[in-house]
Amino acid sequence: MPLPNQDPALRPNWSEGPRVLLLPGKSKLFYNRHPWVFPGAISGVQGSPSDGSVVALLSHTSKFVGWGLFNSKSKVRVRVYSWNPAEPPAEALFRKRIREAVALRCSLGMLGADTGCRLINSEADFISGLTVDQYGSWLVMQISSLGMGQREEELARWIREEIDSCPDTDFRPKGIVVRHEKSMSRLEGLEGGDRLIWGENPPDRVEYLEEGIRLLAQPLAGQKTGAYLDQRINRKEVGKLCKNKSVLDAFCYAGGFGLQAARQGATRIVGIDQSETALALAQNHAEMNGLAERMEWVRADVFEELARREEAGESFDVVILDPPKFAQAKSALEEALRGYRRLYTLGMRLTSPGGILVLCCCTGLINWEMLENLVEQVGAEERLNVRILHKKGPSPDHPVAASCRESSYLKCIVLQIAR
Ligand code: SAH
């Protein structure tokens, strides 16, 4: 029997529809399954595709490279979804991608009726421009490309139907909301706003379970899609190091790391954040989980508060630093590195002898080597013996496609600090 893509009856005719031709020498990256085609790689467009429509991507010798969605307004002129001539980006392909994404989270043991889990992670699930998070019974679709925005109604239906027919999970969504990533809407020409796209409206706060801790997400109002799910496993692992320890959770947002530390037996936890809303949510979480007695929340600028506590001679057995992204563009990199240097210096000074320092960095422009060099330099300046215990990325429900490693950003490094 011929393979499907060799059966002429099943092969969509890519030579007839709109086509984007690559320049000589530019095809390899896309044969290698990179999903973003920038204008600099393109020699011409044939057949006047409308924005968001399907195009075939061809090499300069007119060989098939992949199927993508076109957008003349975006710097990502074509997003590639398929490298198989028999699988254009239409219902069958998207359903397959969604099915595979759900199956992965089931096999990781991360998707259950009441969990918080990333179901679809854009490029890493080969659906560029679509991110889907689960919070309890609700799904939050985050759209960051025009092609996905134009298909959001269908995508919501396919996601729901594929989950409903999945035998490996007891999760059944009650409702789906859609959010358009603000910064991308402008760049992609995306219109429309955040709304319920199917099912029941979520309550203002949706409860879900993260590794034994009850948490609340705000699907339509919180930061990102409501919480920071990427640190789920890191929180649990760091929590294990906190039994009978004092813990400083800086940039704590809704208390993620501190709550796990408390659950796993920390004696005292101080959480610091500049956002009053985040701290109110953190306090709420502490109460819901019966951990409030050991937890204290401080509204302050982390840099100032850490300097103040260091001057006062304070120290903690475990110090966690999980700041926001410090640099969006290369031009901001030097300043970002100065910021991390200052923070790591304060962190090392505040860690008790023999204690643990957890450094998280979600600036994609800073790679592991840069981070480790910085740790080495600050350790030497502070005349400390610094050892690396663990290096971790995001939880595996946030995978990274090997062909698109620039979408990787989160690094978490666990250090032991000795005098
Ligand atoms: N650790 C959190 C996620 C942190 S997100 C978790 O596990 O969920 C980054 C947080 O840093 C945000 O809540 C933001 O309000 C806070 N933040 C940013 N800059 C800050 C500053 N200079 N001082 C204090 N908090 C800051």
Q: What is the pLDDT of residues 93-104, one digit of tens each?
A: 999 999 999 999
Task: In whole angstroms, give the CA distance from residue 215 to residue 289.
Answer: 9
- What span, in angstroms and rounded, lies between the C-alpha atoms of 259 and 124? 29
Question: How many angstroms does the Cα of residue 81 sit away from the middle of ligand 1?
Answer: 34
The two beta strands, 295-299 and 385-392, are: unpaired
Mean pLDDT of 216-224: 77
CATH fourth-level superfamily of 91-208: RNA methyltransferase domain (HRMD) like (3.30.750.80)
Return the CATH fold of 228-418: Rossmann fold (3.40.50)
Q: Give the ligand 1 atom nearest the CA of 301.
A: 23
The larger pLDDT score, comparing residue 13 to residue 359, is at 359
User: Three-state DSSP class for 387?
Assistant: strand
Q: Is 326 in the pocket of ligand 1 (CB under 6 A)?
A: no
Ligand 1 touching residue 274 (CB < 6 A): yes
- For residue 181, what pLDDT is reported? 82
Mutate to test the pocket of ligand 1, among 229, 253, 299, 398 (most ligand atoms within 8 A of CB): 253
Structure tokens at 380: 């030497």
How many Å apart are CA 337 and CA 138, to the nearest integer?
Answer: 38
pLDDT digits (tens, 9 = 90+) for 301-310: 999 999 999 9
Smallest Cα–Cα separation from 270: which of 280, 278, 261, 361? 261
Name the average pLDDT for the chain.
Answer: 94
Q: 31 to each of 57, 82, 199, 402, 406, how far by Cα in Å?
A: 10, 10, 40, 13, 17
Instruction: Say if ligand 1 is within 6 A of residue 276 CB.
Output: no
Angstrom CA distances, 238 to 179, 241, 283, 326, 341, stand at 31, 5, 20, 23, 22
Query: Domain limits of the chain?
Result: 4-82, 91-208, 228-418
Ligand 1 touching residue 278 (CB < 6 A): yes
Q: 381 to each of 355, 375, 385, 416, how far by Cα in Å? A: 18, 10, 11, 16
Nearest CA to ligand 1 atom 11: 251
pLDDT at 11 over 70: no
Nearest Cα residue to atom 1 of ligand 1: 252
User: pLDDT tens, 238-251?
Assistant: 999 999 999 999 99
How far, in Å, CA of 254 to CA of 238, rounded? 16
CB 286 within 8 A of CB 257: no
Which of 263, 274, 297, 320 is the pocket-test mutation for ligand 1 (most atoms within 8 Å of CB)? Answer: 274
State pTM to two decimals: 0.93
Condensed to tens digits (0 to 9), the pLDDT of residues 321-374 reads 999 999 989 999 999 999 999 999 999 999 999 999 999 999 999 999 999 999
Residue 15 CB neighbours (<10 A) = 11
Locate the ligand 1 atom nearest the alpha carbon of residue 322 and give its number: 1
pLDDT digit string (tens) for 281-316? 999 999 999 999 999 999 999 999 999 999 999 999
Give the burial class of 32: count Cβ atoms within 10 A of its Cβ; 0-12 exposed, 13-18 middle, 19 or more buried: exposed
Strand boundaries in 181-257, DSSP class E: 195-199, 206-210, 213-217, 246-250
**pLDDT digits over 51-70, tens only?**
999 999 999 999 999 999 99
Residue 4: pLDDT over 50: no
Q: Is 261 in the pocket of ligand 1 (CB under 6 A)?
A: no
Distance (angstroms) between ligand 1 centre and the Cα of 119 equals: 24
**Nearest Cα residue to 321 out of 349, 294, 295, 293:** 349
Phi and psi dihedrals of 45, rounded to 5?
-120, 130
Nearest CA to ligand 1 atom 23: 301
Contact 11, 85 (CB under 8 A): yes
Environment class of residue 352 by beta-carbon count within 10 Å: exposed (0-12), middle (13-18) or buried (19+)? middle
Q: Which helix (DSSP H) or strand (DSSP E) does residue 378 occupy?
A: helix 368-381
Chain centroid offset of residue 393 CA: 11
CATH fold of the domain at 4-82 = 2.30.130
